[in-house]
Structure 1
């Protein structure tokens, strides 16, 4: 669509005298479009009126032909609880078709209405396919998943390019004893240029050039979302469409707010959208970032999470109408993101130089293996107005499967397929067994690390899976996200049979290898080993959590392998390693325990940016999904850095999920020595504030560049948390900073940083801030590092700086600390202090 629009603009410049003529002609052609009368079909009955449209009955109609080997109609006229259109249906026991006369080339809207009437019989026997315009638009279709009547009518909508002539819609029962049915059919010409033939192509990895040939494939509507608005029914839509609200798809509801509805007249103008692209009720409502636009720290995104088929192409249409700017949209720019690796600038003024003027952007998106498509909006630093908005989203799947070319049903061919597959499979098995016998006679069996028989081509993956055959607490484990499964043969190839030279680390789960997949992508492969204290539960937790969440400051899970008794996780490769690697070296067994030596040369502002990135990742875990996630193992070795020193939180094997309303999760104590929240240890009640405590310890590591527990030091210095707080309370935290940073930290930045650490390390969780408050404080520290600000009374640590600070460009985000009962039921350990808690923690449970 963007290409077509740019061509129009270029043409208007060449023919300047005729510019207004072409503009008015474009608008008049859209305005001249009216919803056609044909074809609206009431199946299995006579004519009726529905949504102010006349639906022609398919009984003895002269407007189209019903060709059927075995069809019948049923009516449930007595059922007054349903609309008249859904009181009848046409049933097909054999392949049958409707033939419609098409008199104009173009893009057509094709809809099928399904409603389970009582006269249909066993609805589970309704399994069928539908062919249209040479394509199989519905394959092995069933409505049994929508068991509640409130989910009906079920409407399947398609956009097809149809040429003049006969247009056939064919219903094909899947098996002999199955049947097909339909309650109503709509086929009508869409407005001109409703679907472009090309659009920007987007792959999960990012920009993929341009996709051409959209008009050659049918499009199946998957989602039609009214962002910030309510339900839109066909009576209120220009093309009789349904739109639903976005609330169930919004990833973090607190990040967005509804814009005030626009009550004026929308300015539809070329090259923008028309009211047929989306109705007024979509363009006059929106959601925007839930922020104060005066703040310069608004860097979060608003994200929506839409379920789609894996490995398919989808047309994504995003609708915009600037109803958030007061007078002009010249100063508002923001970013649109698709997945994590594609972003494009949205500048309404560059598109339509007017507020309340609708427009849209089209993208052809390749879905990844997650089963979801992420769409996000976020602010740009070069925009004078710091916000972003979105009005509507449509997602349509590109259909490539061809329909049947003969008159037989699917089941007439299935027997030959089954016999052929069985015979072919038997031959392959015999060939494989012969080859295997020859191999065994010629050589000795090799261990796994040296196994070079190409398993993938023979098996396509092992039939034995740890995640489906093992149990936790006696309950069978459900199969995890199968789209992320990686064959063991691919793991062997990527790690060169687990070459010891590729080992880049070792943690609580096992060894970590630097590897390269066959497609050239660098990854980190983490392989479980016995005796490391972690096993199947942690393996399953990591997969379940990382397959559902994505964020620029969380390490992405590429895949997993659970074949041959293996538990292997594959992550994106982080070039710069762990944060601890850049702070100090240790000689102890644990990564954070033992004598340490500073090795850092990271400047203070870069350390702050790393902390800010990690804080964003943790804040997203706490608030970015319907079930809040507590990491439970925040430490410097679980904060990784990419080639640009961007921080990403990793290792979710000990994480716990829970509802946002829950104040705590009762659980056995697990974590890492030196980072453990003392309140969690005393009360066995895990909260999000436990992560805040651990992160406070990390902040001290970043400042002091030493291990969190160093047994080689005097007793009062062994625990970094206790030692650091001793100096902070004396107001002399600068005495223990990393020698590399001496004289390089702005005193105001250091003072605010110390106050932030002190709040994080409060003994009682209720006294600690939320991660969003920690994030704000760290952003403030970074500003202070580059700002000369004299010390004033309001900068005292006992005062909330946000209440009196005169700089109006900085606004404190609200923090609500809910007081809780600090008395634990575990009287035998309720008086244990932090030192005693650390000494009693079993080291073999630490990671």
Structure 2
């Protein structure tokens, strides 16, 4: 039977009668239909239409949606091939280095793009073709050549995000060679089929675990699935199982597109009672892949194995140091068997060039079973501007904004959230990178990283299914919207166990995208402190990126300073809030191995719980160490919020802990003056709070800028000390600024002065009176 290799994945040929030997005939009419919108099937180098697995491939010379650049020809097979489809009897040949194949009316969104190649015998020796294929700057194939020894067509499959209503494929022959293509498929697929963080993918393997070959005719997206026999380490460690009797229970229409129904009706199952009494704790599959490239691994599951609900739990592993509990019954939507779901892992195999995936038994599982239905492996394609490249872009943008209207500088962050850990069955921590979690129906990745990466040590115990978040927020009800910021909107919600939460939901156009999402989880999984927010959970299913925190009852510090209906804060309470925030920042700088620089300290990122305890929030822009005596700064693109940015960091792009100190100094003035850091409605000399406030402090007139509602509340000694702290924080050069520990001590001193009856001179007090234990 002829097979079509899809870069390591074999798709079926034309012979269909074997299907009836493997699967019940009724299954050929699949109940799970996947709706396809715009679609193009092109027979290249021909004017004829050819039907191939229920699709009509239209000749490219007769299609009004196809055009191609000059210096192209067509060629036809010199003999009639009975083993392959007629779409492989012709080809379009390109000889120009800038040849283009243009397909109009493709629609915008994620598309599956398949390129078909078969070097048939003709006047042009197609097996000698050596070429590259690219689209919108992405290299799809590099130095590609189909060997003459192959007797089967080769199909290269891609998931591509297309932002315009046309697809332009560039064929670039290498040297004096040429390029060719036999057939082309392009069709729009539902959002979420490719994850948000990896929109451009190249398929390498597609495996039906525990079952036979699934052909194009049995997949709603015309995909083929190979048996897993060639990839499993110990065949005896698990047994093939199948269930065709009952209908599958899909959660939504997208799930109908994720895999063939036949994949979910077969599985490899392992248990304690099999194979000559020998007990295996796990079953492993290995795949040879490109070295040092990021790969998306999608594991498919469907529970027809367990005898009843809540009886089978097991682990999914990768590289022996990542594990995720598979719990098909965790949420209401899963309160039945035969529900397809999947987990995504993002892995980088390094120099080994191997991707390993395992399932393993749990000691605590009643029935001691584990299963896997399918696996897909796709390499992530595309390039990303380095941070160094982005530095110039950010700096240029900032300089332009600064020189323009101050009105453009008024940027406020998101109101938010935070708190305690979401309770799920205990899971092993992973030491590989997961930019988003692995969970049912979800999208979750892992990647090994070097020490100091902002993407290390994610904790999968924090993952929350999208269905739970929809329940908590009533499907993101607009009535529950409590704020918005650079990352996206923030919603109030309640989990099923009654926990009040705030959910930060990214928006596709957000300037703070996947990198910030990843950093936030990384930082919050490393730290625990009374004055730092605690993450309850996170989710990256479909195209969503969601962060879930304990609901902070009293909102942000800014909410209590100006332009809100919250009651104003008395001076003592403002000092205690500043002290709490300073404690949190001091812990970030000195209490965490390697140190963490927040990089976006502002009044909206200091949140208050029901007791007005301050917690520093929003770590999406944070920078992790190590910072030691030999490394005093980190060279990085300028990020933060105008009005709070350290001017030295802005000029040099050298980030230090003292950059946070400067930003905190601006917050201290906000607390004192009850006005924003940038107010474009004021005269130019008053618009910038830091510049305006410092002039009054230096001139000895600090009382003139105090919030009027505080009149008569502030002890003059406390006010004077507070002003000194703010002034030191706002020094132009970072070496002149204090550490956060010194700021903390000075603020505690200011509070002690405020509490001192009649403003007693501090010199007359003992140390124990100033800082009582």
Which TM class, normalised by the smaller chain length?
0.3 to 0.5
